[in-house]
Amino acid sequence: MADAVKELGSGTIKATVNKLCSVCGASSKPDGGVLQRCGQCKVVTYCSADCQKQDWPAHKILCKSILQASRRRDNGCVRKVLPARYQELTDMFSAFAITLEENGKGYQTSIAACNIGDKHGSHPLFIELLISRVLGFPLGVSRHPQMGSPVPNTVAEMLSVDPDHESSTFGQPLKQPGATGTGGLIVARRDGRQLHFFHVSAFVNYVSIIAIELGTVKQREKAGEIVDRQEIKNRLLTPAAFEEGFRRFKEKQMVLVSEQERKVLEKVECPV
């Protein structure tokens, strides 16, 4: 298989492009011509329209995920990400609230500092975000039903994906008490250290990108594809991977912000 690599902001989604027909395994069209790719995702290949039509019920889920990943390159990471208050850019805080706010066109993620007193992410009110542990940035999360929009917080599902590559639920959202339902989320470090707005923004950004690929693992395996879970873990689910994602996200943001804001962001280091 050849690799088609799509750079998406702070992370990399690697999709595999088959050299064989995804249905019958043919290496060329019946007339000897080159295999054709799916016209939408440009990843999966077929030897004929009949094979493509036969595969569509199984392929359409993966196809949609790949397209969503591609669009994030334009809609997500290139957008300037800054707090509503300048103080949140210059100071450190014990916790941040993550909510979905309506913007007229739908919902967008909002991140703002909040006060949780002497509590921190290992308090009984918080549960551990497992994906944050494997990325070397230990966070606890708590659901706040009266904060944010009344719609289910899709960010919660994204952050609760199972990072255990040996688990049957690898890449799928875990139904963790306190992290599901509606309303906003409160995140805090489990080791009691303070957070910067940019730490949380970069983390949410990185997980939102890799969650797309992780979310397709089960579907790809059901479709008969042999997925190298260990390779995915080594490439996406390590502190070094998050550190690189943080660096790339920061690099993009430095181009978008003002000179004053850039001077502040230059001093913000990766929390890993």
Query: Which helix (DSSP H) or strand (DSSP E) does residue 159 occupy?
Result: helix 154-159
Helix (H, G, I), strand (E, B) or coil at 263: helix
Q: Could you tell me the residue ranges of all domains in the chain?
A: 2-75, 87-265
- Our CA angle for 206, 19, 169, nearest 5°, is 40
What dihedral do alpha carbons 110, 176, 181, 161 form, nearest 10°?
50
Per-residue confidence in pLDDT tens, the chain, 272 aa: 233 333 323 333 333 334 678 788 888 899 988 888 888 877 678 899 999 988 888 777 667 766 665 554 434 444 667 777 777 788 999 999 888 766 666 667 788 888 887 787 888 888 899 999 999 999 998 877 555 555 556 777 788 889 999 999 898 888 655 555 556 788 999 998 999 999 999 999 899 888 888 888 888 888 888 889 999 999 999 999 999 999 999 998 998 888 888 999 999 999 99
Helices (H), 18-97: 49-75, 87-90
Query: Which DSSP category does 33 fall into?
Result: P
CB atoms within 10 A of CB 150: 10
Tokens at residue 242, please? Answer: 């998050």
Query: Which DSSP category does 228 fall into?
Result: -
pLDDT per residue over 85-95, tens digit each?
Answer: 777 788 999 99
263-to-37, 129, 176, 217 alpha-carbon distances in Å: 46, 31, 39, 40
pLDDT per residue over 203-226, tens digit each?
Answer: 998 998 888 888 888 888 888 888
Q: Using CA atoms, how far apart are residues 256 and 76, in angstroms rounded to an integer? A: 13
Main-chain dihedrals φ then ψ at residue 264, nearest 5 degrees? -70, -45
